[in-house]
Amino acid sequence: MSSRGKSFKACRRCRSLVPKNAETCPVCGSQDFTFEWNGIIIIVNPEKSLIAKILEINNPGKYVIKLE
């Protein structure tokens, strides 16, 4: 899928999904993004989530599973 079809881009540092027009990542402050990603995971309560612990996610939000 081209970047035109994606409403979000992914932060390369923390894998957070951010809107296309965002200039900095609200989670880690990075400005390094990509439109090449697959799979979304939504973390609601990172303290109780086994998946969040495995993926080392500490903040609630939308994240990508795989960066390409």
Q: Which residues are annotated as a binding site for Zn(2+)?
A: 11, 14, 25, 28
* CA 50/CA 48 separation, integer angstroms: 7
Give ∠ CA 20-24-29 in degrees, rounded to 5: 140
Beta bridge partners of 9: 18
Annotated binding site: 11, 14, 25, 28
